[in-house]
Every structure is written in structure tokens, then in C-alpha cells.
Chains A and B, each alone.
Chain A
Amino acid sequence: MNPLTRRKLTTIALNTAGVVVFLAAVFPVYWMVATAFKSNNQIFTTDFIPFPTEPTLDHVERVFDKGVAGNSIWVYLKNSVIVAVVTVTIGAVFSLLAATAVARFRFKGRVPFLILLLVAQMVPAEALLIPLFLNLQRLGLYDQLFGLVVVNVGLTLPFGIWMLRTFVAAVPKELEEAAWIDGASRFTTFWKVLFPLVAPGLVATSIFSFITTWNEFIFAFTLMRESTGYTMPVAVQFFFGQRGTDWGGIMATSTLMTIPVIIFFLLVQRRMVSGLVAGAVKG
């Protein structure tokens, strides 16, 4: 075989492999969306129907009108948005403060604190769930969206600080020093110099926390008793408790839950990887 045909064949083989990987990655997601828009006839069949050839909005309308567990999906979407947005807002303030401390100052206890942030990512949710469940009950925050917010702030903060500190560290210190020389106070420097430069990083970190909170299931499932307080993942799970699984409805709800995440994800994916593997990739 001459080298030219060989190179051509390699290219074809690589591109085929690429298409296969793409299809394998995308198909399950596509199948969820496709099922959400299929008629029941086309859902409950042993045949393979690649496209919703009789597309219908029945399932989407049904989950909004009738919903699940006695409430429209609006209720759960609203709860999910409230919990995620409030968590992210509170988390952004605290993680920015802590990240500044860790990235800008050398102080006693800094390294132990950073190690604490890493170790926090290991703790299994079940370990915290049991004591937090009892604590929230004692504090009267059980079955309250605010209680769920508090828990989610705790869950997202360690990684938020870890990720944000690299953004703070990336801002040249000379800029702040220049402001100090001009007589600016610490607060003015922070607010007028550091904050605008860290803002993109803060957005990336916040989106990451948003996704974590939006996806969180086990705490929402355990800490909210009344169905009016369920978040999206809990509502999706609730479909299975009913007699005869309503796959059209489930897929419509899952699609509504997944789309915001996919959008956000495409916005921050690059930064997320660099945050997670931070040290390792730098070498």
C-alpha cells in the first residue's frame, strides 16, 4: 500500500471512530428529548422509531397542567430556580471573600484550610444527611426551602472557593498595589480593582454551583416533606411511584430539567476542567 492511501485510510478510520463516539455520547440524550415529543403509540412499542414522526406536545402540556404529585411542573421548576439562585448568590459572596483571603494573603492556617477544601469534596452526602436532617428539624428548617438553601451553600462552598482562588490569583497584584499607593482603602481596592477583574471567574464558579444545586437530589428528597416544596429531580423520581410508568411525562420533565444544565455547561466547561484538575495539569 502506498503511504498516501494509507494516510487516507487512517483519516477515514479516525473520522468514523469520531462519529461513533459522537453518536454514543449524544444518542441517550437525543432519545430522552425524542421520547418527550412522541405519541404514546410510538413510545410503547417494541419497534425502533428513530424520530417522532407524529410529534405531539401532549406530554409537555400534561406535565404543566396536571403535573405530578398533585402539582404542576411549574411549582418544581420554581422551587429549583429559587433554591439554585439563592444558593449561588449567598455562595458567591462568601466564596469571593474566602478566595481572596487564600489567594492574596499568606497566613497561619492557610494550607490546612486548602486541604480542608479538598477533603470536603470527598465526604459522602449520606454522612452529612443524617445529622443535617436532625439539625434542620431542631432549628425548624425542615421542610423549608431556606433549609435546603443553607445545606446547598455548605455543599457548594468548598469547591467554589477552591475554583475561585485561581481566578483571584491570576489578577496581577501590582494593580491593587497601585491603587493603595494612590491612597485607596482596602475595600475600595477590592471593589473597584479586584472585583471587576475577577467577575468572569465568579460567573464561571457560580454557574458551576448552580448546576450542582440544580442537580442535587438526595437532600431535597429527604429534607422536603410536602410535595409543594419538591425540586425538579425529586419530581422526576416521583413519576415512578405511580401505577403504570408515564414515560412521555417523565421524559418531558427530564428534558425540562436537563436543558438549562446543558446550556450552562457549554458556557463553563473549559474552566470547570481546569478547576478540577488544577494542580495535575499544570505539572
Chain B
Amino acid sequence: MTIKTSPDTRGGDQSPASGRRRKQERRPRKGLPAWFVPYALLLPGLVIIAGLLLYPLFQMIVMSTQKVGLREIRRGTTPESVGLGNYEAILDNDLFWSALRNTVIFALFAVTLTLVAGTLVGLLIQRLGKKMSKLVIIGCMAAWAVPPVAVGVIWRWLADADAGIINWFLNLLPDGLSQALFGRSDWTAVPWLNDTLSIYTILTIAVVWQSFPFIAVSVLAGLKSIPSELYEAAKVDGSTGFRTFRKITFPLLKPVFAVLLVLSVIWDFKVFNQLFILAGGTTNRDAFNLSMYAYSEAFRSPPKMGSGAAIAVLLTLILLVVTFVYVRQIIKQEDIR
């Protein structure tokens, strides 16, 4: 299957050689030696990535085995090593386990819902007429474009206890239905952002709302690559909608889904901004996910940067496993060799 993505995604050196004589001319006559040029071009970028990414990651691992408190930060005294003490303390702390639970359960729900919603919308857009599909795509773009902090703000407002639209809407439902569904018929002044479960409910809706467009647009791009003959053949054979999806669409788009799944997991595992706004900063410890927990350990007074770093190391390790799958998938598909 081939898709017309706007830039050609192939690697560079693929122009066919057109004979021996031209090959000799394939380099400028003066300037740097050929082997050195790529390294010279790469150097500045590599220095930046090394200085702002690799070295800090190394520092983080070192710090996770040290006690880095106010004294070490202020006076710059050499931190004392505590071995694996930070890790032991964290794994002993109930807060870590509740943060881990929040992170994993949230990711499970958010990723599933995002992928399902995004795929359905992608399939829908493909079947819509020209004008209508354009309208839906523009709507999706608007949701996708909103900055994460603004997403938090908007949903905090929608979920406001007194003036929020969510409570207004739930009050509209017939009392019997509302009672049967949620065990409550009066939604006046119900606070959504106090306890963990309802914070995460709103967070899930907010994150799904913001991330389904990316899935939809990617799935759509994939769908356009599937030759329509396949669908015609399926129709002739009397295949129905769901069966066609299961037997044709899904297998052909499997690589797309693999990457989308991994990207969604990575993004939802480290969601921070939206949660920070919805939970009202770092005061509500029950609502922490791993990112918030690491941040709050390191920066809320008294700062415990060593133990914050240890949490960050654990989070990074989890994500590294997920990324491994992603990288393998990308390398398999794209000839970056």
C-alpha cells in the first residue's frame, strides 16, 4: 500500500545511478572532504541534544541515588549518596502505588477511547460527502489545536459545580434515567474536581476530546491508501460493514494502528498540563499520576529532588519499553538504514 503523504518519506540516496561517467562527477570539486561533511552538519544539533537531553538524563539517574534537598540546591554542596534508598522509600510509599494506579488506569481508558473514537470518526469522514467531510475535519482541527493548558481550563469550566454545562446537561436528563445511570437525579452544584475518580473522568473526556482528531486524520490518510477494488470485491461477495473492516481495513492499516497506539500510550502516560489545571495544582495528592508525583516531590517544599528523580527514572523506564516497540515498528516500515 502506498499513500501520497505530501512530503516524500523516502530516504535520500535513492536516485538511480545513471552510468559510470556521471558517478565520478557526483561531488563538488572543492571544499571539505566528503566523509567529514555529514559530521560537521550534525555537530551543532548533536551538541544540543547531548547537552539538553542525554546529559540531563544521565544526571537524573545519578541524582536518583542521592539526597538532593534544599541545602544541596542552595549552597551547591556535593549531594550525599544514598544508594537505592530513594527507590526503597518510594516503593514503600502508598502515594507511589496510587500514582502508578492512576497513571495506568487512565492510560488504559484514554488510549482505548481515543483509538475507538478516532477510528470511527476517520471511517465516518471517509464516507461523508466533500463539503461535510471538510466541515468535520475543520472541527476536529479546532479541538486538536487547543493548547493543553487551555484544554484543562476549558474543561474545568465545563465541569464547574455551579455554572458548568456538564451539571446543567445532567440536570436535563429525566430524573428516572439519571437515577438509574448515576444514582443521582439532582446535579445542582455537584463538584466534579474534588475526588480522584471524577477528576479522572473529566480528564479522560478532555484528553479523548483533544486527541481523537489526530487518530481520525491518520486513519483517514491510511484509508485513502487502500485500493477501492478491495472494497468492491468484498461487496460483491456480500461482506457487511463490520466484517469488511475486520478482514480488509484493519489488517491493511495494522502498521498505522501500531504507531498510533504506541504514540497514544506515550502521550497519555505522561499527561501533566491538563491534570495540573483540573486538579488545581499539586495540593490534591490522591489525584497524582506519576508525572505529577515526580514534579511535586522535586519542587514542592521541602524539595526532594533525589526522590523526584527516582520516580522520573521509573516513569522513563516504563516509557522506554513502549518506545522500543515504536522504534522497531518505524524502522521496519521506513528504510532509514
Residues on A facing B (Cβ under 8 Å)? 14-15, 17-18, 21-26, 28-29, 31-32, 35, 43-48, 93-95, 97-98, 100-107, 110-111, 113-116, 118-135, 137-138, 150-151, 153-155, 157-158, 161, 166-170, 172-174, 177, 180-181, 183-187, 189, 201, 211, 214-215, 217-218, 222, 233, 236-237, 240, 247, 250-251, 254, 257-258, 261-262, 264-266, 269-271, 273-283
Q: Scoring B residues 258 to 287 as 1 if CB is less than 8 Å from chain A, else 0, what string do you get?
A: 111001001001101100110011000000
State the main secondary structure of chain B at its contact with A: helix
Most buried by B among A18, A32, A118, A155: A18
Residues on B facing A (Cβ under 8 Å)? 1-3, 5-13, 15, 22, 25-32, 35, 37-39, 41-42, 44-46, 48-49, 51-53, 55-57, 59-60, 63, 68, 73, 76, 121, 124-125, 127-129, 132-133, 135-136, 138-150, 153-155, 157-158, 160, 162-163, 165, 167-168, 188, 209, 213-214, 217-218, 221-222, 225, 255-256, 258-260, 263, 266, 269-270, 272-273, 276-277, 280-281, 291, 294-295, 298-299, 305, 308-309, 311-313, 315-316, 319-320, 322-323, 326-327, 329-334, 336-337
Most buried by B among A46, A131, A132, A271: A131
Q: Do residues B37 and A279 form an inter-chain contact, with CB atoms below 8 A?
A: no
Q: Do residues A126 and B45 form an inter-chain contact, with CB atoms below 8 A?
A: no
In the bound complex, what is the Cα–Cα distance between A17 and B269 (angstroms)? 30
Q: Distance in Å from the Cβ of A27 to the closest Cβ of chain B?
A: 9
The one of B9, B13, B49, B217 that contacts A106, using a Cβ cutoff of 8 Å: B13
Given contact pairs A25-B139, A116-B49, A126-B295, A281 touches B154 in the complex (Cβ within 8 A): no
Given contact pairs A126-B312, A282-B333, A153 touches B48 in the complex (Cβ within 8 A): yes
Q: Do residues B60 and A130 form an inter-chain contact, with CB atoms below 8 A?
A: yes
5 residue pairs of the A-B complex, CB under 8 angstroms, read A18-B125, A21-B121, A111-B331, A180-B26, A271-B7
The one of B10, B57, B323 that contacts A128, using a Cβ cutoff of 8 Å: B57
Most buried by B among A104, A166, A257, A283: A283
Instruction: Apart from A18-B133, A101-B39, A266-B141, list 11 A-B contacts with CB within 8 A.
Output: A22-B135, A28-B143, A28-B154, A121-B323, A122-B322, A127-B56, A128-B52, A217-B272, A247-B160, A273-B221, A278-B5
The one of B158, B163, B217, B258 that contacts A280, using a Cβ cutoff of 8 Å: B258
Q: Distance in Å from the Cβ of B302 to the closest Cβ of chain A?
A: 15
Q: Do residues A247 and B157 form an inter-chain contact, with CB atoms below 8 A?
A: yes
Q: Do residues B225 and A283 form an inter-chain contact, with CB atoms below 8 A?
A: yes
In the bound complex, what is the Cα–Cα distance between A237 and B334 (angstroms)? 41
Q: Do residues A217 and B273 form an inter-chain contact, with CB atoms below 8 A?
A: yes
Q: Do residues B28 and A185 form an inter-chain contact, with CB atoms below 8 A?
A: yes
In the bound complex, what is the Cα–Cα distance between A277 and B323 (angstroms)? 14
Q: Distance in Å from the Cβ of A184 to the closest Cβ of chain B?
A: 7
In the bound complex, what is the Cα–Cα distance between A150 and B47 (angstroms)? 12
Closest to B149 in A: A233
Q: Do residues A123 and B57 form an inter-chain contact, with CB atoms below 8 A?
A: yes
In the bound complex, what is the Cα–Cα distance between A189 and B27 (angstroms)? 11
Which chain A residues border B139 with CB–CB below 8 Å? 21-23, 25-26
Closest to A93 in B: B44
In the bound complex, what is the Cα–Cα distance between A111 and B330 (angstroms)? 12
In the bound complex, what is the Cα–Cα distance between A105 and B36 (angstroms)? 10
Q: Do residues B330 and A279 form an inter-chain contact, with CB atoms below 8 A?
A: yes
Which chain A residues border B273 with CB–CB below 8 Å? 217-218, 233
Across chains A and B, which 3 residue pairs bring their CB atoms closest together, nearest first?
A: A154-B52, A279-B334, A98-B45
In the bound complex, what is the Cα–Cα distance between A79 and B52 (angstroms)? 22
In the bound complex, what is the Cα–Cα distance between A189 and B63 (angstroms)? 47
Which chain B residues border A133 with CB–CB below 8 Å? 299
Q: Distance in Å from the Cβ of B29 to the closest Cβ of chain A?
A: 6
Q: Do residues A26 and B73 form an inter-chain contact, with CB atoms below 8 A?
A: no
In the bound complex, what is the Cα–Cα distance between A236 and B141 (angstroms)? 22
Given contact pairs A247-B163, A271-B7, A280-B329, A126 touches B291 in the complex (Cβ within 8 A): yes
Given contact pairs A128-B57, A186-B28, A282-B3, A157 touches B149 in the complex (Cβ within 8 A): no
Q: Do residues B148 and A217 form an inter-chain contact, with CB atoms below 8 A?
A: yes
Which chain B residues border A271 with CB–CB below 8 Å? 6-7
Most buried by B among A105, A110, A277: A277
In the bound complex, what is the Cα–Cα distance between A24 and B117 (angstroms)? 12
Q: Do residues B15 and A172 form an inter-chain contact, with CB atoms below 8 A?
A: yes
In the bound complex, what is the Cα–Cα distance between A222 and B147 (angstroms)? 18
Q: Do residues A124 and B5 form an inter-chain contact, with CB atoms below 8 A?
A: no
Which chain A residues border B15 with CB–CB below 8 Å? 172-174
In the bound complex, what is the Cα–Cα distance between A254 and B150 (angstroms)? 6
Q: Do residues B305 and A130 form an inter-chain contact, with CB atoms below 8 A?
A: yes
In the bound complex, what is the Cα–Cα distance between A17 and B316 (angstroms)? 40
Which chain A residues border B2 with CB–CB below 8 Å? 282-283
Most buried by B among A104, A138, A161: A104
